[in-house]
C-alpha cells in the first residue's frame, strides 16, 4: 500500500495500476489492427468486382474497381493480361459515392492518429502511477469518441460502395480504359469486407475505451 498527496487530496493505491489498464491496452491493439485493415482496404482495388462476359480481346474478363484505381484482368488459355489505371483528383468520371468514400477513409486515418496519441497519454499516466483521473478519463473518452466516429465513417464508405452494387449502377470510365458503362455481373469484393471488419474493430475499441472507470482498488481520501 502507498499514499500520495496531490492537489490537497491523498490517493492511496493498494494494487499496481498496471493491472487496471490491460483491457484498455487490448482496445489500443484492436484500434491498431482496425487502422491497418483500413489502410490496406484503401490500397486494394477489390471494392467492386465487375464480371465482363465480352472483354476487349473477345474473351471473358474481370475488373476490380477500388477507391483509388481500377484493374482489368483479361483471361485466355495461354496468359493473363492485367491493366491498372490510377485515379487522379481531377478525374471527373469518378462517381460521387467513390469520392465520398475516399474522403471518409482519409479522415478516418487522421482520427485514428489523434486517438492513438490520446490513448498513449492515458496509458502512460496509468502506468506511471499518476492519479490524475480527469486527465486519464478525458484522454480515453476522446480516443473512444474518435474511434466510434472512425467506425461510422468506414461503415459509411462500405455502404456508399455497396448500394451501387445493389442498384446495378455503372461508371462512365474514359474510352481509353476500354470499360463498359455497366458490367454483366457486379459483386462486393474482399476490400469491402476488410473495411467492414475495420469498422467493427474501431467500434469495439471505442466501447472499451469509454467503459474505463476508476479502479475499485484506488481510494480518494480528502486531506483535512
**pTM summary value:** 0.79
Instruction: Return the C-alpha cell found at 31.
Output: 484500434
**To 10 degrees, what angle do helices 190-210 and 96-127 make?**
40
Closest CA to 146 of 113, 105, 120: 113
* C-alpha triplet 207, 210, 213: angle, nearest 5°: 125
pLDDT value, residue 222:
46
Q: Kindly list the domain boundaries of the chain, sorted by start residue.
A: 19-212
CB 3 within 8 A of CB 10: yes
pLDDT at residue 136 above 80? no
pLDDT at residue 67 above 90? yes
Give SS3 for 62: strand
pLDDT at residue 158 above 90? yes
pLDDT at residue 134 above 80? no
Q: 159-184: per-residue pLDDT in tens? A: 999 999 999 898 998 888 888 888 88
Q: How far is CA 210 from CA 27, 78, 131, in A?
A: 10, 56, 18
Instruction: Return the C-alpha cell found at 79.
Output: 496468359
Segments of 9-68 assigned E as strands = 9-13, 48-52, 61-65
Question: Is domain 19-212 annotated with CATH 3.30.360.10?
Answer: no
Residues 6 or more apart whose Cβ sits within 8 Å of residue 34: 112, 147, 150, 151, 197, 198, 199, 200, 201, 202, 205
How far apart (Å, rounded) are the C-alpha atoms in residues 131 and 6?
8
Closest CA to 24 of 132, 150, 115, 149: 115
Q: 5-48: per-residue pLDDT in tens? A: 444 444 444 344 444 567 778 888 999 999 999 999 999 999 99
Amino acid at each position: 500500500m502507498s499514499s500520495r498527496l496531490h492537489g490537497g487530496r491523498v490517493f492511496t493505491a493498494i494494487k499496481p495500476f498496471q493491472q487496471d489498464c490491460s483491457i484498455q491496452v487490448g482496445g489500443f491493439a484492436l484500434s491498431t489492427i482496425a487502422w491497418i485493415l483500413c489502410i490496406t482496404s484503401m490500397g486494394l482495388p477489390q471494392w467492386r468486382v465487375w464480371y465482363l462476359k465480352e472483354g476487349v480481346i473477345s474473351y471473358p474478363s474481370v475488373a476490380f474497381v477500388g477507391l483509388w484505381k481500377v484493374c482489368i484482368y483479361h483471361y485466355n488459355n495461354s496468359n493473363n493480361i492485367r491493366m491498372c489505371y490510377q485515379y487522379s483528383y481531377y478525374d471527373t468520371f469518378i462517381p460521387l459515392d467513390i469520392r465520398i468514400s475516399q474522403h471518409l477513409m482519409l479522415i478516418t486515418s487522421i482520427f485514428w492518429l489523434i486517438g492513438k496519441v490520446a490513448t498513449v497519454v492515458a496509458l502512460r499516466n496509468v502506468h506511471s502511477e499518476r492519479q490524475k483521473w480527469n486527465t486519464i478519463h478525458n484522454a480515453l473518452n476522446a480516443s473512444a469518441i474518435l474511434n466510434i466516429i472512425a467506425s461510422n465513417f468506414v461503415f459509411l464508405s462500405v455502404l456508399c460502395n455497396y448500394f451501387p452494387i445493389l442498384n446495378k449502377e455503372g461508371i462512365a470510365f474514359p474510352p481509353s480504359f476500354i470499360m463498359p458503362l455497366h458490367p454483366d455481373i457486379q459483386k462486393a469484393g474482399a476490400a469491402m469486407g476488410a473495411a467492414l471488419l475495420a469498422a467493427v474493430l474501431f467500434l469495439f475499441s471505442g466501447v472499451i475505451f469509454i467503459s474505463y472507470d476508476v479502479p475499485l482498488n484506488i481510494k480518494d481520501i480528502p486531506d483535512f
